[in-house]
Structure formats: C-alpha cells, structure tokens
Amino acid sequence: MLNSHIPDWLSDNMCSISTGEGFRKRELWTDADETIIAVRRPQILNSIEDPTYRGDFLDRELRVVVSEIPEDKRLEDEEVESRFRKALPDILGALLTVLSEAKRLEKKVILKKKPRMADFAVFGVAIEEVLGYGKGSFIKAYNTNRQQVNNLVIAANPIGWCLMRLLRQHKNVWIGTNGELLKALNEALQEDTTGQFRNPKNWPKNIAELSGALRRIKPALRKKGVTIEHKHKNDASRLTITYVPKAKKK
C-alpha cells in the first residue's frame, strides 16, 4: 500500500472478507437469474505504522512484529532467493504435514470460550498440538495479542480516551443523560494538552452521532472492564457507565 492509512470503507470491506461476505445480483436486468458470490479469505497487510484504529478491524487482526535484521546478518536478494529455493521442498513438505495433521485433529478441539474468529482459534489449537507446544499456549498468546490490540483501540480512539479520562475523574462511575455525556466528553477533549486529538475526525456533533460512536467502541470498552447501561426515566435516556479494572493474571 502506498498510503499508510486504510480508509473506513476499505476497513469495512476487509472485515467482511476476513469473516465471510456474500454478494447477490441479477445477471441481467431482463431476467430473474441471479449471480451469487461468497468470499472469505485471509489477508496479509504490511505496514510500519498502524493503518487503522477501528476496533472491528483490529479485533480480526493477528499482529506480528518483525525484528530488525542486524547489519552483519543481512543478505543480498540473490543469496536469499538461492537459500529459499534450496529449502523450499522441506518447507513445503513440513507445512503440508502440519496442515494434514491439524485438519485431522481439528474436529476434536473443544473450546469453552470462543473468540470472534472462532474457527481460526480452533485450528490454532490443533496446530499447537501437532507442533508439540504446551496445552493452552496458543489461546494464551492469541488472547494476549487481542488484549494489546484492544488497549490500542481505546488509547487511539478520541471517544475511548476521553471516556476513560472521565471515568477516572469520577472514581470509575459516571451517571447522566446522553446530552450530559457529550458535554462531558467535549470538556475532557479540551483537557488533552498533548494535542493527540486536536480536531479529531468524526467527533460526534450531536447525541445521535455519539450513540453510533459508542456502539462502535463498546466491544473494546467491555473487554477492558467498562459497561454502559441505558435506563429510561421520565422520558429521558440516562446512562450508567462503570469501570471495573480487570485483575492482572500472574
């Protein structure tokens, strides 16, 4: 990608493709025959910076940080290609062996809790067993990856950042109407002395836009221990927002 940023429309499409997307359309406007296209494919994205901070995208992401190659270990393209061609039969054979064994064990894997990418998690556990890793090592690594991404979603989202600041100021509990929340978040935004969120894009201008922004980041907040409850009293919608920090596992 020439651009380090993924636009929202492309982020939505990549999310749909990663977990499955269908498209249906009439073949010709003159008849009733339909063409149906169903797509579900893994995607590899290479970027130095985080190309997006949208929670739905990052929750489907498996992040791998590649270490820098020391100068005394770097090779020219010709030597890399030569070594790869020599090792290719062994690499391909090993991959096919692991794949066939994992497919055989996949149906025997039972997960008590399944993440959003449930099929991927099940297959990962099967590969874990084939490769001889300790039981539970894949899920532990996968959950750690998802938690790191989740923290990034909140920290990089102006609504999430302001809401966490607001909760800390009110001892982890805030109660009020949607209008009062929008006003409080606007005030919290002005307290950002770092300039990280100066004139943030898509900042809600009204209650309706705020509701949509909260729905988008709500899954990430829930994983961090933040719950948002809606209650109606005297025809006014009131919110009770509570933050219960999750205990760190030893």
CATH number at residue 172: 3.90.1150
pLDDT of residue 247: 65
User: Alpha-carbon distance 75 to 235, whole Å?
Assistant: 69
> Does the residue 148 lie in any domain?
no
Domains in the chain, number: 1
Average pLDDT over residues 148-161: 87
The answer to whether 91 touches 62, Cβ cutoff 8 Å, is no
Average pLDDT over residues 31-37: 73
> Does the residue 195 lie in any domain?
yes
Per mean pLDDT, which of 62-71, 86-95, 151-160 is the most reliable? Answer: 86-95
> Does the residue 174 lie in any domain?
yes
> Does the residue 235 lie in any domain?
yes
Band the pLDDT of 1: cuts 50, 70, 90: very low
Give pTM, 2 decimals. Answer: 0.71
User: Alpha-carbon distance 167 to 244, whole Å?
Assistant: 10
Worst-scoring range by mean pLDDT, 112-116, 118-122, 124-128? 112-116
User: Alpha-carbon distance 36 to 30, whole Å?
Assistant: 17
Q: Provide the residue type at 3 as one letter.
A: N
Band the pLDDT of 181: cuts 50, 70, 90: very high
pLDDT of residue 145: 87
Residue span of the structural domain in which 220 resides: 158-243
The answer to whether 156 touches 53, Cβ cutoff 8 Å, is yes
> Does the residue 199 lie in any domain?
yes
User: Over the Cα atoms of the chain, what is R_g?
Assistant: 23
Average pLDDT over residues 18-36: 72
pLDDT at residue 212 tops 70: yes
Mean pLDDT computed over every residue of the chain: 86
Band the pLDDT of 234: cuts 50, 70, 90: low
Greater pLDDT, 180 or 36: 180
pLDDT at residue 199 tops 70: yes
> Does the residue 236 lie in any domain?
yes
pLDDT of residue 185: 93
pLDDT at residue 61 tops 90: no
Q: Counting beta carbons within 10 angstroms of the beta carbon of residue 149, is it exposed (0 to 12), middle (13 to 18) or buried (19 or more)?
A: buried
> CB neighbours of 123 closer than 8 A, spacing ≥ 6?
102, 106
Q: Provide the residue type at 132 as one letter.
A: G
pLDDT at residue 241 tops 80: yes
Band the pLDDT of 89: cuts 50, 70, 90: very high
Largest CA distance in the chain: 75
Average pLDDT over residues 25-46: 77
pLDDT at residue 2 tops 60: no
> Does the residue 103 lie in any domain?
no
pLDDT at residue 3 tops 70: no
pLDDT of residue 17: 87
> Does the residue 80 lie in any domain?
no
